[in-house]
Amino acid sequence: TDVLGDQTTRELAERASTVLRGLGVEPPETGDLPARSPITGGQLMTLRASSPEEVDAAIGRAATAFRAWRTVPAPVRAAVVRRLGELLTTHKSELAELVTLEAGKIGAEAAGEVQEMIDVCEFAIGLSRQLYGQTMPSERPGHRLMETWHPLGVVGVISAFNFPVAVWAWNTAIALVCGDTVVWKPSETTPLTALACHSLLRRAATDVGADPEVHQLVQGSAEVGSRLVDDDRVALVSATGSVRMGRIVAPRVAERFGRCLLELGGNNGAIVTPSADLELAARGIVFAAAGTAGQRCTTLRRLIAHADVVGPLIERIESAYQQLRVGNPLEDGVLVGPLIDGRSYTAMRAALDRALADGGELICGGERVDGFGDDAYYVRPAIVRMPAQTAVVREETFAPILYVLTYHDFDSAIAMHNEVPQGLSSAVFTSDQREAERFLAADGSDCGIANVNIGTSGAEIGGAFGGEKQTGGGRESGSDSWKAYMRRATNTINYSAELPLAQGIKFG
């Protein structure tokens, strides 16, 4: 018999309904889109997916709202985001609970995700007074040359299940202060957190007297997303998800000369050198590899350790893995919650089988933890020692498998590190400054994120977030990522009585 069965699913559904009501959302009654909880694998409720006509209408409303929103001064636009940040602070624990119920994250990580939303709101508020353009010296007397940043238009946000709320906030807080309006297509796996965020944002807009139509929510699967992808009224498609999705989305947006911001899969590696502090490295590695049950885009999947330290390092990680409690993420002390669904589990098993067929040695983990229901998939995080970086290691399997590879010289470690198609996050653990700097240099890590003595996951919002190669090249969140959400105009102003031409051209 199941420890967590129908009874528990009913309880979870009640909790979800209560949380939704607390956030001002009447729980949906019926529809064709199921909202599941990976905690039991059961269905919490169903809601209606958006029809093609509804998606078109939502884009239309966002496009209309944009016409006025773009003329509101940016620091005034920030009032919506400030209010959103306040509402998120007030409702942090409820929203985090919904993230746990729907995405299976443990409480601390779910709360961290909501904190990230609050942080990016603060960032966006400050940014609203810093949407700087440059002025350049003109080559002509009596002329001024400058650039101005203007709002871009409707931003279509397509997001993944594993950061159901933070990725939306990264995009939406920045897009709104930049003067854009947003149509959001969340993952079909996490429709309830989306209802909650949408409601909070609309409330924030209403509270400060702004137009709530600046934000639209459409729900459903890939077909709903593809309507955003193909619609000329959507100026920027910001899509987070698998490389497979990006391969379909990017050429279609390019075909209509729209803009794309892609945040796709990672296959993140860490190099551990002989001078590394192994205790610190092991702690960083365990969080990065097993945290969120291996379901972060920045999860550590490849450990590249020097031959002199690989043995003791594996021992430390293995012993930390034995202590990890796998189970119901609503319970205190649990560090590893469920996989999102059965497909993830099947993919994990298939990857492990391939790795072992390639000569890999299973150090620990990989087995399913029973007692949570037939449709709930809990696994013990796995460590597999690999003789070489075979094809399966070069793929992203979205589950907690840590492949361990061995190196002898630092150049070959960097080469092995970069020898995968993805380029999101990376790390080196070392006390040798030469190695640390080399890892960060032009001929070091080829990733969008390169860290020293910190794991690959858990980025702060202040930096630009994103990766190279098949990760898609997009940057979101901090630094100057806002530029993707605006259009640039170069302005030349002649305040003289002459009309000199550039490059000294004489005409007539």
Q: Interface with ligand NAD includes 88 (CB under 6 A)?
A: no
* Angle, CA of 61, 53 and 219, to the nearest 5°: 80
Q: Minimal distance in Å, beta carbon 98 to ligand NAD?
A: 17
Q: Which one among 263, 381, 461, 482 touches ligand NAD, defined by CB under 6 A?
A: 263
Q: Interface with ligand NAD by CB under 6 A: which range of 36-44, 245-253, 366-374, 479-487?
A: 245-253
Cα dihedral: 201, 89, 188, 259 (round 10): 60
Our CB check for ligand NAD shows the closer of 80 and 169 to be 169
The residues in 297-326 that bind ligand NAD, with binding defined as CB under 6 A, are 297
Transcribe 11-39 into DSSP letters: HHHHHHHHHHHHTT-PPP---SEEEE-TT
Alpha-carbon span 337 to 103, nearest angstrom:
9
Nearest Cα neighbor of 98 from 217, 190, 231 is: 190
Q: Interface with ligand NAD includes 221 (CB under 6 A)?
A: yes
> Where do we find the tokens 């400050």?
126
Q: What tokens appear for 443 in the block?
A: 């001929």
* Angle, CA of 115, 74 and 203, to the nearest 5°: 50
Q: Minimal distance in Å, beta carbon 267 to ligand NAD?
A: 9
Cβ pair 39, 92 in contact under 8 A: no
Q: Interface with ligand NAD by CB under 6 A: which range of 154-162, 176-184, 191-199, 302-310?
A: 154-162
Pattern 179-198, binding to ligand NAD, x per CB under 6 A? ------x-xx----------
The residues facing 476 across adjacent strands are 465
Instruction: Please count the other Cβ atoms lying within 10 Å of the Cβ belonging to residue 105.
Output: 26
Catalytic residue among 116, 188, 263, 435: 263
Query: Counting Cβ atoms within 10 Å, is residue 459 exposed (0-12), middle (13-18) or buried (19+)?
Result: buried
495-to-136, 215, 498 alpha-carbon distances in Å: 15, 41, 9
Q: Interface with ligand NAD by CB under 6 A: which range of 82-90, 148-156, 175-183, 218-226?
A: 218-226
Q: Which one among 37, 40, 50, 240 touches ligand NAD, defined by CB under 6 A?
A: 240
Looking only at the bridges linking them, the beta strands covering 143-151 and 486-494 are antiparallel
Our CB check for ligand NAD shows the closer of 183 and 249 to be 249
Q: Which one among 104, 164, 225, 373 touches ligand NAD, defined by CB under 6 A?
A: 225
**Is residue 260 annotated as a catalytic residue, yes or no?**
no
Our CB check for ligand NAD shows the closer of 179 and 474 to be 474
Q: Interface with ligand NAD includes 426 (CB under 6 A)?
A: no
Our CB check for ligand NAD shows the closer of 115 and 226 to be 226
Nearest Cα neighbor of 364 from 348, 380, 347 is: 380
Q: Minimal distance in Å, beta carbon 424 to ligand NAD?
A: 6
Q: Interface with ligand NAD includes 264 (CB under 6 A)?
A: yes
Q: Interface with ligand NAD includes 79 (CB under 6 A)?
A: no
Transcribe 84-129 into DSSP letters: HHHHHHHTHHHHHHHHHHHH---HHHHHHHHHHHHHHHHHHHHHTT
Cβ pair 430, 452 in contact under 8 A: yes
Nearest Cα neighbor of 231 from 256, 259, 250 is: 256
**Is residue 223 annotated as a catalytic residue, yes or no?**
no
Q: Minimal distance in Å, beta carbon 477 to ligand NAD?
A: 9
Q: Interface with ligand NAD includes 266 (CB under 6 A)?
A: yes
Alpha-carbon span 434 to 422, nearest angstrom:
25
Q: Which one among 160, 183, 201, 270 touches ligand NAD, defined by CB under 6 A?
A: 160
Q: Interface with ligand NAD includes 161 (CB under 6 A)?
A: yes
Q: Interface with ligand NAD by CB under 6 A: which range of 130-138, 194-202, 217-225, 432-440?
A: 217-225
Nearest Cα neighbor of 183 from 234, 146, 139 is: 234
Q: What tokens appear for 481 in the block?
A: 């990522």
Q: Interface with ligand NAD includes 479 (CB under 6 A)?
A: no
Our CB check for ligand NAD shows the closer of 347 and 356 to be 347
Q: Minimal distance in Å, beta carbon 169 to ligand NAD?
A: 13
Q: Interface with ligand NAD includes 38 (CB under 6 A)?
A: no
Q: Which one among 59, 99, 165, 229 touches ligand NAD, defined by CB under 6 A?
A: 229
The phi-psi region of residue 51 (left if phi > 0; otherwise alpha if psi is between -120 and 50; otherwise beta) is: beta
Q: Minimal distance in Å, beta carbon 396 to ligand NAD?
A: 6
Q: Minimal distance in Å, beta carbon 398 to ligand NAD?
A: 5
Contact residues for ligand NAD (CB under 6 A)? 158-163, 185, 187-188, 221-222, 225-226, 229, 240-242, 245, 248-249, 263-266, 297, 396, 398, 424, 471
Catalytic residues: 263, 297
